[in-house]
Amino acid sequence: MKKITMLMFLCLVSLTGLFAHESCLDWNEYVSFKNTGGTDYYLLTKGCAEKAAQTYHYSGPGNITDVKIMGQTPSGSGWAPFTMLKVGIYNVDANNRPTTLIDSETIKWYFWYSEMTAHFGGGGVPVNNNFAVTVELINPCFFGQEFNVKYTGDGEGSGEDLPSVAGACIGANWLSLLPTKDGDLYIIPQMNHYISANFSPSATCGVAVSQTVNFTNTTLMTEDSMFNTISLSGYTGSETLYSWDFGDGGTSTAKNPSHAYSTPGVYTVTLTSTIDKWPMGGSYCSDTKTKKISVGLTVSGAPTNLTCYGDQSGSIQLTASGGDNSWYKYSLDGENWQWSPTFSGLPAGTYTIYVKDALCCEFQGTSVTITQPVDIVIGNPVSITMASCGNADGAMLATATGGTGTLTYSLDNVTYQSSGVFNGLAGGVYTLYVKDNNGCIKMKRVVVSNTNSPTLSLQ
């Protein structure tokens, strides 16, 4: 398993950022917002319509921390000192009718109350989708057999079909108040909304100048107009659901925008996701996410060719630009990286060059080739004239090709001459040196033989 180095960690943070979220507490005012006239009451009666529900559209995430009931004890209910009520939170179906109970709390309503709040502990009840908040008569006999839930009045429900009732004389299923009543019930949730701004760019590395980058918004946040007033058709505030800053002066309020950069560099993209709470335009909460985009990262290489055939005197000087130039690292294989842009001690060959910027974005440049001169080749055989009788009258004639420039010859690697002819040689073993203009030397062992002296035989 590979170890995560500090460099890798910094690259990961630079590209993705760290996870965070914001939260904001808000008493819902959607029912009051729809109410344009006076209010009325909807009567709950033990043994008949015993339950009332108000559905809310929500796209989460959030927690219901409290539910406020607005209503009164009917004056003709026998002056019961209190009424026991169960306040519930339900899942709902596609028709806005409550289905399964999520959680509930019991409250004691005294006859002089006009509103009361049920608190849900443990941070509240998590919800991510549409839900209903309910109130139910649970009194035993003799006391509190009726309860009036505050109601906006007919004609102010805008046909949204949000309230429901259920009870013994209605049936086990929740029923809509429509068509006889088109209003909303004052059963009001307090929400702790969570906002986690996030987005995914189509590319963070390898982005070319003028290339279009598409941004996919993955923010977790309710957009529904019942809780985020920015989505209301009559919104009068100054906020937007989403605000983008692309880091080059470009901006957008689209949910999933696109953008192209005209200049190489690194750009910090900032997304701000916002909930404008109730009352509309009164206060808002938001979360911000930033990510960096590397644009126009490139690298080129200038080779220094070999001085002599077969040696390792070659080098490549890399030059990087664009992207995040806080630092660059360089490589000739995409695996082994170094801080220096200079690669030396290289043999002849073709090399693929790579650069990595401070976002750890990699770019593969055009291959660079290091060449070498033609090898020096000494002609074979070297022409030899043997020395005679131990005299220094031998000679050799050497020829060579290749190398760079003019070739010179030597028998001691000190004194060189333009000719390959060496005279006045005694018999023996010699090392022939051939050198070109680059100082490259090729050697060859040459033997100059010695003919024997005459011999005298005495009789």
Q: Check whether residue 357 and residue 386 sit in a common domain.
A: no
Q: Give the pLDDT mean for 363-375.
A: 97
Contact at 8 Å (CB) between 229 and 278?
A: yes
In the prediction, which pLDDT does 170 show? Answer: 82
* Of 382, 389, 400, 387, the residue nearest 448 (C-alpha): 387
The phi, psi pair for 76, rounded to 5°, reads -100, 25
Q: Check whether residue 111 and residue 156 sit in a common domain.
A: yes
> Considering 252, 274, 295, which residue would you say is the last residue of a domain?
295
Amino acid at 316: I
Which CATH number does the domain housing residue 426 bear? 2.60.40.1080
Residue at 361 is within a domain: yes
Range of weakest confidence among 118-132, 171-185, 445-459: 445-459
Residue at 110 is within a domain: yes
* Of 111, 100, 94, the residue nearest 161 (C-alpha): 94
The phi, psi pair for 435, rounded to 5°, reads -125, 140
CA 252 to CA 15: how far, in whole Å? 21
Confidence of residue 11 (pLDDT cuts 50, 70, 90): low
Q: Check whether residue 163 and residue 243 sit in a common domain.
A: no
Contact at 8 Å (CB) between 361 and 296?
A: no
Which CATH number does the domain housing residue 10 bear? 2.60.40.10
Q: Check whether residue 67 and residue 137 sit in a common domain.
A: yes
CA 458 to CA 143: how far, in whole Å? 163
In the prediction, which pLDDT does 22 show? Answer: 87
Q: Check whether residue 269 and residue 413 sit in a common domain.
A: no
Residue at 315 is within a domain: yes
Residue at 457 is within a domain: no
Q: Check whether residue 418 and residue 343 sit in a common domain.
A: no
Q: Check whether residue 241 and residue 146 sit in a common domain.
A: no
Residue with tokens 């100054």: 238
Residue at 456 is within a domain: no
In the prediction, which pLDDT does 13 show? Answer: 45
Q: Give the pLDDT mean for 116-125.
A: 96
Q: Check whether residue 43 and residue 127 sit in a common domain.
A: yes
Q: Check whether residue 232 and residue 134 sit in a common domain.
A: no
In the prediction, which pLDDT does 9 show? Answer: 42
Q: Check whether residue 230 and residue 275 sit in a common domain.
A: yes
> Considering 370, 399, 434, which residue would you say is the last residue of a domain?
370
Confidence of residue 54 (pLDDT cuts 50, 70, 90): very high
Q: Check whether residue 327 and residue 271 sit in a common domain.
A: no
Per-residue model confidence as pLDDT tens digits over 306-336: 999 999 999 999 999 999 999 999 999 999 9
Residue at 341 is within a domain: yes
Residue at 104 is within a domain: yes
More confident residue, 236 or 53: 53
Q: Which two tokens stand for residue 437?
A: 């203009």
Per-residue model confidence as pLDDT tens digits over 75-102: 765 556 888 999 999 999 999 999 999 9
Question: What residue numbers bound the domain in which 276 lies?
Answer: 6-21+197-295
Residue at 421 is within a domain: yes
Which CATH number does the domain housing residue 365 bear? 2.60.40
CB burial class (10 A; 0-12, 13-18, 19+) of residue 34? middle
The pLDDT of residue 127 is above 60: yes
Mode of pairing for the β-strands spanning 337-338 and 400-401? unpaired
The pLDDT of residue 427 is above 50: yes
Q: How many domains does the chain divide into? A: 4
* Of 92, 98, 119, 88, the residue nearest 25 (C-alpha): 119
Range of weakest confidence among 136-145, 312-321, 350-359, 377-386: 136-145
Query: In the predicted model, what is the mean pLDDT of the chain?
Result: 91
